[in-house]
């Protein structure tokens, strides 16, 4: 531990996922990857992952490697001088892939296309064959938090998919008539996981609702989104809730039309402390929307563009932050990425986030 002190303004963070080290691809190429989804019901990695050849990774081997993997992500974030850290979300095999694969009542359907340019249709889909309201937990988020808290003196944060977010890979049509019905069925499990996190001491939770497409009847409206978000957070205290809404990043390509105007001001009815939104990749477009928020709402501003190999300089980020400061006070503004860093080269991720931390340091000193 160090003599680190949390800043009174402009904390630097990410939206969750951290860059993978290059050696991880060696494991994957050899068929030895411990990442991705553990078998159903064992999100803590107590057994080998699907597809791992028998005898290559025992339960202890897998646990050791994922522990090392997450500790590396924590050390990288500290070295870049971030203020709010995650464990890198490496145990999940992606922001949602491992979570979906570990849920009961689902049948995996292979991706319809395997060749050609990268696209949404190259992802597997999970058909829902049983009601999902019997699921007691989506993932052991509390264990991730406890691991992180024990290894850093920075502020720990845990990101978790919201009710619409968790439906991203689901074809729910065999059981549910609409995406909202499927999302509603998952509210009790998500709410239970949040309660466990708060009980463990977590005071910073990011609810992830990227604007991903649906595999069946879509009915997401701002009003529906507000209602399901409120259903999972209402009555839970002692925690800062930030809702992350991005346009998706499948292999660093967005899923959706990149505008927030259809969501605001209706989304302000969500009973959360703030929102994490994309701005850096869009040259600060629509930042004016923030001017219509109530003064106490936090903006976790996605100012670091994960979709470009250009490494922002501190001066670039200072310019973007100053634009945000026209609409938010510094104590209600976080500097963040516009999406997860999992697909960004590790050296580039460290460079980008180090520049963000340096920009924050200069701004705190000069105002």
Q: Is pLDDT at 297 greater than 80 in this prediction?
A: yes
Round the average pLDDT of the chain to a whole number and report it: 90
Which residue would you say has higher pLDDT here, 171 or 43?
171
Count Cβ neighbours within 10 Å for each residue of 144-176 and write b for 16 or more, e otherwise.
bbbbbbebbebbbbbbbbbbbbbbbbbbbbebb
Please give the pLDDT value at position 280. 92
Provide mean pLDDT across the span 19-45. Answer: 58
Q: What is the pLDDT of residues 120-169, one digit of tens each?
A: 888 889 999 999 999 999 999 999 999 999 999 999 999 999 999 999 99
Please enumerate in sequence order all residues whose Cβ is within 8 A of that of 244, keeping only pairs 6 or more positions apart, or say none. Answer: 15, 16, 159, 206, 207, 208, 209, 210, 275, 276, 277, 300
Q: How far apart are CA 252 and CA 154, in angstroms?
A: 28
Please give the pLDDT value at position 100. 87
Give CA separation, 188 vs 68, 180, 199, 209, in Å. Answer: 32, 14, 16, 17
Kindly indicate the confidence band of residue 40, based on its pLDDT and cuts at 50, 70 and 90.
Answer: very low
Model's pTM, two decimal places?
Answer: 0.92
How many Cβ atoms sit within 10 Å of the Cβ of residue 41? 12
Instruction: Tell me what percent of the residues of the chain surpass a pLDDT of 70.
Output: 92
Q: In Å, how far from its chain's centre is CA 4?
A: 25
Query: What is the fold, at CATH topology level, of the domain defined by 93-366?
Result: TIM Barrel (3.20.20)
Q: Is pLDDT at 41 greater than 50 in this prediction?
A: no
Kindly indicate the confidence band of residue 97, based on its pLDDT and cuts at 50, 70 and 90.
Answer: confident
Please give the pLDDT value at position 119. 83
Q: Is the dihedral of CA 41, 161, 73, 149 positive or negative?
A: negative
Q: How far apart are CA 234 and CA 191, in angstroms?
A: 9
CA-nearest of 202, 111, 93 to 149 is 202
Parse the chain into domains and list their residue ranges.
93-366
Q: Is pLDDT at 183 greater than 80 in this prediction?
A: yes
Provide mean pLDDT across the span 74-85. Answer: 98
Give CA separation, 246 vs 52, 145, 249, 252, 254, in Å. Answer: 33, 23, 8, 12, 9
Please give the pLDDT value at position 136. 95
Kindly indicate the confidence band of residue 50, based on its pLDDT and cuts at 50, 70 and 90.
Answer: very low
CA-nearest of 266, 247, 263 to 255 is 247
Provide mean pLDDT across the span 217-240. Answer: 96
Q: Is pLDDT at 32 greater than 60 in this prediction?
A: no
């Amino acid at each position: 531990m160090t003599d680190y002190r949390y800043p009174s303004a402009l904390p630097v963070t990410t939206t969750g996922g951290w860059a993978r080290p290059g050696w991880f691809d060696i494991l994957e190429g050899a068929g030895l990857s411990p990442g991705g989804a553990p078998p159903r019901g064992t999100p803590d990695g107590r057994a080998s992952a699907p597809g791992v050849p028998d005898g290559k990774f025992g339960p202890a081997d897998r646990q050791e490697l994922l522990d090392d993997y997450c500790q590396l992500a924590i050390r990288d974030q500290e070295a870049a001088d971030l203020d709010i850290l995650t464990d890198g979300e490496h145990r999940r095999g992606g922001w949602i892939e491992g979570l979906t694969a570990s849920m009961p009542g689902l049948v995996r359907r292979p991706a319809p296309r395997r060749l050609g340019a990268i696209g949404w249709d190259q992802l597997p889909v999970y058909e829902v064959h049983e009601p999902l309201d019997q699921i007691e937990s989506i993932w052991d988020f509390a264990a991730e938090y406890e691991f992180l808290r024990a290894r850093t003196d920075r502020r720990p944060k845990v990101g978790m998919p919201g009710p619409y977010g968790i439906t991203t890979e689901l074809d729910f049509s065999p059981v549910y008539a609409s995406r909202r019905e499927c999302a509603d069925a998952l509210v009790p499990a998500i709410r239970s996981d949040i309660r466990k996190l708060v009980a463990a001491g977590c005071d910073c939770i990011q609810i992830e609702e990227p604007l991903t497409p649906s595999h069946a009847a879509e009915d997401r409206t701002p009003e529906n989104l507000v209602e399901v978000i409120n259903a999972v957070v209402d009555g839970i205290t002692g925690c800062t809730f930030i809702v992350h809404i991005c346009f998706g990043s499948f292999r660093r390509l967005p899923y959706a039309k990149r505008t927030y105007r259809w969501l605001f001001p209706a989304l302000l009815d969500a009973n959360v402390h703030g929102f994490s939104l994309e701005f850096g990749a869009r040259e600060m477009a629509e930042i004016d929307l923030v001017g219509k928020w109530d003064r106490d709402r936090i903006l976790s501003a996605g100012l670091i563009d994960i979709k470009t190999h250009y490494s922002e300089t501190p001066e670039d980020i200072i310019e973007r932050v100053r634009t945000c400061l026209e609409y938010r006070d510094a104590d209600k503004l976080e500097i963040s990425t516009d999406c997860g860093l999992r697909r960004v080269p590790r050296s580039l991720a460290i460079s980008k986030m180090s520049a963000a931390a340096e920009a924050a340091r200069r701004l705190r000193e000069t105002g």
